[in-house]
Amino acid sequence: PLLDDKNPPSQQHQNPPLNPKTTTILDVAGGKGDLSWILLNADGMKQSIVVDPRTCTSHTHLLRSVQFLKENPKLCQERSVQGLDTFQPLATIMPQLLVRQQEWKMKRRRLMEEQQQTVDMRSDGSSYSNCADKKEEEDINLSFRTAKHLRVHFDDNMVSALRIETENKMNIKAENNNHTKKNENESTLNHNDAFSSSSSSWESYWSKALSRTDGATSEITNPSKVSSSINNNSNEVLLQDASIVRSILLHDVNLIVGFHPDQATEACIDLALLLRIPFAIVPCCVFPSEFPNRFYDCDEEEDEKKGDDDDVSSFSSGKEEKTVKRRKKVKSYNDFIIYLKRKHEKIKMDYLDFFHETDTARRIVLYLLPEDFKE
């Protein structure tokens, strides 16, 4: 069977881990940003950017749990044992969190001291470093890294806008490779025109994307001139500058992740394929009424066997000779998985290691690795 929860693919892969120092992650539909927080503060990734039109809240619940487990090491050890009723996943990564916390504190201290080089002593006679330590103790948010937030909808509009950017870059590269000294001036002119067109096209998309987002950007009179703003309640960093966001998406991001990204699911895979970067997506809801143009080729005989239910184990991908194919509308979860998987011949499928008492939680993960793009 193509999809079979009873006999899932192996969950152990012999692939080299990502290099945290060079990995910038796009966390699509990341909500409050808890996944990004863990990727930054437990895995030590270079950067993780939450893409979600909703306002990200503070990580108060996570921080309180971390503080509690830190102050109660015996309980932390007990809660790190899987299989027990007291199991708490956060407890299993406490060693990494505490190491990253100290590293971030030291880095913050160095940065703050560099910014205050002219101030060696405070008026009360205490050193600047001691003041920084006290401030971090009072605000635990400062002792951990915070993900940046791209507060826009992640959809086909974004993918289309970035496709235009990549096509313009490819045209420019082709022109530069073919030009000679005789037409160097003309080629340079075309080069500049292409960049201008690309920039205005992206600016147009970005302006509409921000206007579509409620709340956060409504008070910004000229979003393209603002590089970031900080939400004082949650230390949230909002990315607003059109050129900076464009550069990050085209040049910095090298992994896209999405855990139940809803309407953004297909766009995640489309952008990853466009940029030729790896992804890991856990699809959930299908939204057939919002995406009526999703179809895939289906053998008529197999389709009759499958019926209209969502039993993911009942559909076979086997092809027989002289079978009749027809266009099948994507309506069920099983349809959606098949449809997404056919976007690239090397898309792999696995299962996340968690279960729900009702056995309804969607835990299939679709992914591509960096080497899958090598020809």
Closest to 139 (Cα-Cα) out of 150, 131, 148: 131
CB atoms under 10 Å from CB of 184, counted, come to: 11
Q: Which residues of the chain have pLDDT under 70?
A: 1-17, 57-58, 117-142, 172-175, 179-198, 214-236, 299-325, 355-359
pLDDT at residue 214 in the model: 59
pLDDT at residue 266 in the model: 97
pLDDT at residue 357 in the model: 58
Residues 6+ apart with CB under 8 A from 177: none
Retrieve residue 244's tokens. Answer: 């900076």
Encode 275-290: b = buried (16+ Cβ within 10 Å), e = exposed: bebbbbbbbbebeeee
Average pLDDT, the chain: 78
pLDDT at residue 143 in the model: 81
Cross-strand partners of 365: 350
CA angle 124, 129, 131 (to 5 degrees): 45
Calpha distance 277→113 (Å, rounded): 38
Calpha distance 367→330 (Å, rounded): 20
Note the pLDDT tens digit of each residue in 121-132: 545 544 444 554
- Helix, strand, coil distribution of the chain in percent, nearest 5: 45, 15, 40
